[in-house]
């Protein structure tokens, strides 16, 4: 893993961009993650006591190894023969694949259930979970992001009009999100809280698939540089006639064909523009800012308020410095609300890489924003020389 810090020249680029386009003050953008409370995992029951009162459960839903899981549940819990939708069901539907319940009792029974959903886009597990909570109208009471592929959270749901405290583990296996939930009725929550926390602490998939959820393609700037993008996005690139400056764009076209995409109607579903600029042609930062300004003006946009600076990890090792800034974007001739413009500038020994994202804002449509941002970051992480031997490689023959 590598983290590229800002160079003086990139800080200057950002300062010039701010001074030419916007006033320097943060926008009141939706910052949901920063407002979510940390997860409370305090327990009073020792782990040994919990384990003595529970059984280790191992299950392989749908006879699929990638969905196999284990968890400790209180003794006497019963596996439910619930209707399970076939694993080949349509993408985008959350469906239950396994469930257990506590024994019959006067109080409402507790339930453990596992559901899954197939993905058709790049998105982090925490962003998927937040978008799911927003869609369902649930409030996250606490959340801990353990990794980009693992989240633990607490929230409340109503089942048959009754309130249940839910402890959830959200994880990813290949192209699937797996949501495991332990539901306890509010009337018995204090008595069973420790059991719930310990049980979900021990939940895990046995053999998750560690790969991207969608197929990827690679675009090459001849033999100089390359980047990866999802196969359900659409590439637009002019014929390269001059390697001093090369351009390419990818548009979010999951449900569109090439001839259905127009800059006026569909690019705001998500668009990433990549420019590769040689340093040895006397081009200046002001030149690049003017080109960015002209490009926005041609699309009838202008930059609005400054939102934030984003630090991205795992940049190509030949990138010596990088900086990403986020702005609101506004319309020039017509009102355009709820969009963001991300400007990434990467610097190598011989070139600048300018990578811009135009997307619906996080407050307007969080899921689409999250998908676009993760696609943008994946592209950034893959962006670099097209082969090992390049002008940017310090080991390349001279």
pLDDT-wise least confident of 99-113, 152-166, 251-265, 333-347: 251-265
Alpha-helical segments (H) within the chain: 8-21, 32-35, 47-52, 125-136, 189-201, 285-298, 366-382
What is the three-state SS of 321-386? EEEEEEEEEEECCCCCCCEEEEEEEEECCCEEEEEEEEEECCCCCHHHHHHHHHHHHHHHHHCEEC
**DSSP 3-state assignment of 134?**
helix
Average model confidence (pLDDT) across the chain? 85
Highest mean pLDDT among 115-119, 268-272, 322-326: 115-119
- The model carries a pTM of 0.86
Confidence of residue 338 (pLDDT cuts 50, 70, 90): confident
Q: Tell me how long the chain is.
A: 398
Reported as a single tens digit per residue, the pLDDT across 152-169 is 999 999 999 999 999 999
User: Of 211, 251, 258, 227, whose CA–CA distance to 353 is shortest?
Assistant: 227
How far apart (Å, rounded) are the C-alpha atoms in residues 123 and 368?
9
Confidence of residue 8 (pLDDT cuts 50, 70, 90): low
User: Of 137, 193, 133, whose CA–CA distance to 167 is shortest?
Assistant: 193
Reported as a single tens digit per residue, the pLDDT across 257-310 is 555 555 455 566 899 999 998 887 666 667 777 788 787 888 778 888 889 989
**368 phi/psi in degrees, rounded to 5:** -60, -40
Both tokens of 81, joined, read 């023969």
User: Of 28, 116, 4, 30, whose CA–CA distance to 373 is shortest?
Assistant: 30
Confidence of residue 241 (pLDDT cuts 50, 70, 90): confident
Structural contact between residues 340 and 362, judged by C-beta atoms closer than 8 angstroms: yes
pLDDT-wise least confident of 81-90, 216-225, 231-240: 81-90
Asked whether the predicted pLDDT for residue 30 surpasses 80, the reply is no
**2 phi/psi in degrees, rounded to 5:** -135, 145
Is 322 or 165 the better-scoring residue by pLDDT? 165
Q: Which residue has the tokens 């018995």?
A: 188
**339 phi/psi in degrees, rounded to 5:** -130, 155
* Region 86-96 average pLDDT: 68
**DSSP 3-state assignment of 127?**
helix
Half-sphere exposure of 283 (CA within 13 A, CB side): 18
User: Of 384, 375, 373, whose CA–CA distance to 350 is shortest?
Assistant: 384
Please give the domain boundaries of the chain with CATH numbers for all domains: 8-29+215-385 (3.40.1000.10), 33-205 (3.40.1000.10)
Q: Which residue has the tokens 């998500």?
A: 270
Q: What is the DSSP letter of 268?
A: G
How far apart (Å, rounded) are the C-alpha atoms in residues 340 and 320?
26
């Amino acid at each position: 893993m590598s983290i590229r810090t800002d160079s003086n020249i990139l800080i200057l680029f950002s300062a010039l961009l701010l001074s030419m386009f916007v006033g320097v003050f943060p926008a009141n953008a939706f910052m949901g993650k920063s407002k979510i409370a940390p997860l409370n995992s305090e327990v009073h029951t020792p782990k040994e006591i919990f384990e003595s009162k529970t059984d280790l459960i191992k299950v392989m839903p749908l006879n699929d190894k990638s969905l196999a899981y284990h968890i400790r549940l209180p003794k006497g819990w019963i596996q439910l023969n619930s209707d399970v939708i076939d694993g080949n069901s349509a993408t985008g539907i959350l469906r239950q694949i396994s469930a257990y319940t506590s024994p019959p009792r006067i109080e409402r029974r507790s339930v453990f259930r596992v559901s899954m959903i197939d993905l058709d886009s790049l998105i982090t597990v925490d962003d998927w979970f937040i978008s799911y909570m927003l869609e369902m109208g649930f409030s996250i009471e606490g959340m801990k992001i353990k990794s980009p592929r693992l989240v633990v959270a607490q929230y409340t749901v109503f089942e048959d009009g009754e309130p249940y405290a839910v402890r959830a583990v959200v994880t990813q296996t290949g192209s699937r999100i797996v949501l495991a939930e332990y539901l306890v009725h509010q009337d018995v929550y204090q008595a069973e809280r420790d059991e719930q926390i310990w049980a979900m602490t021990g939940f895990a998939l046995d053999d998750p698939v560690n790969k991207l959820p969608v197929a990827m393609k690679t675009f090459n700037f001849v033999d100089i540089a390359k980047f990866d993008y999802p196969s359900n996005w659409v590439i637009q690139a002019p014929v390269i006639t001059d390697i001093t400056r090369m351009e390419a764009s990818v548009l979010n076209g999951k449900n569109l064909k090439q001839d259905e995409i127009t800059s006026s109607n569909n690019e705001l579903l998500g668009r990433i523009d990549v420019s590769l600029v040689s340093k040895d042609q006397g081009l200046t930062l002001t030149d690049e800012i003017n080109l960015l300004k002209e490009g926005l003006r041609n699309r009838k946009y202008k930059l609005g308020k400054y939102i934030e600076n984003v630090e991205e990890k795992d940049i190509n090792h030949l990138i010596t410095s990088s900086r990403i800034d986020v702005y609101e974007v506004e319309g020039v001739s017509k009102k355009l609300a709820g969009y963001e413009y991300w400007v990434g500038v990467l610097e190598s020994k011989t070139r600048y890489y300018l990578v811009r994202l135009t997307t619906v804002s996080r407050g307007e449509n969080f899921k689409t924003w999250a998908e676009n941002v993760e696609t943008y970051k994946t592209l950034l992480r893959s962006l670099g020389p097209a082969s090992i031997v390049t002008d940017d490689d310090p080991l390349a023959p001279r």
